[in-house]
């Protein structure tokens, strides 16, 4: 799902990062958001709605709509579309309103 060559843009993929998504080890690149890294790994379902449990993906990708909320390093309601990926991050799909421990 990554663009390899582009007529206008060059993408910097110098530094590889690994992270855990729902127990799976995945790879992304420094500078990309969590949601982008997941999408590049063909993962579109980022969580489920809290009442009807419908699958949720991102919608706006600029931090407005909260449709991309996930649990990141045990913190719920993280807007993954604007949060940059870090090495070793543990990312989980969120299916409730989120609980702070």
Distance of alpha carbon 24 from alpha carbon 31, whole angstroms: 21
Minimal distance, residue 97 CB to other proteins, in Å = 17
59 neighbors 67 (Cβ within 8 angstroms): yes
And the tokens for 59? Answer: 């919608």
29-68: contacts with other proteins (CB under 8 A) = 32-33, 36, 39-40, 44-46, 49, 54-65
E strand or H helix at 39: helix 34-40
Tell me: does residue 1 bind other proteins (CB under 8 A).
Answer: yes
Tell me: does residue 11 bind other proteins (CB under 8 A).
Answer: yes
Q: Interface with other proteins by CB under 8 A: which residues?
A: 1-3, 5-9, 11, 13, 32-33, 36, 39-40, 44-46, 49, 54-65, 81-82, 84
């Amino acid at each position: 799902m990554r663009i390899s060559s582009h007529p206008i843009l060059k993408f910097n993929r110098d530094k590889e990062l690994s992270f855990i998504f729902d127990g799976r080890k995945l790879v992304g690149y420094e500078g990309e958001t969590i949601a982008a890294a997941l999408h590049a790994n063909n993962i579109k379902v980022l969580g489920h709605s809290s009442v009807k449990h419908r699958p949720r993906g991102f919608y706006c990708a600029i931090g407005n709509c909260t449709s991309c909320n996930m649990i990141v390093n045990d913190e719920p309601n993280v807007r993954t579309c604007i949060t940059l990926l870090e090495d070793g991050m543990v990312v989980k799909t969120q299916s409730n309103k989120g609980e702070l421990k």
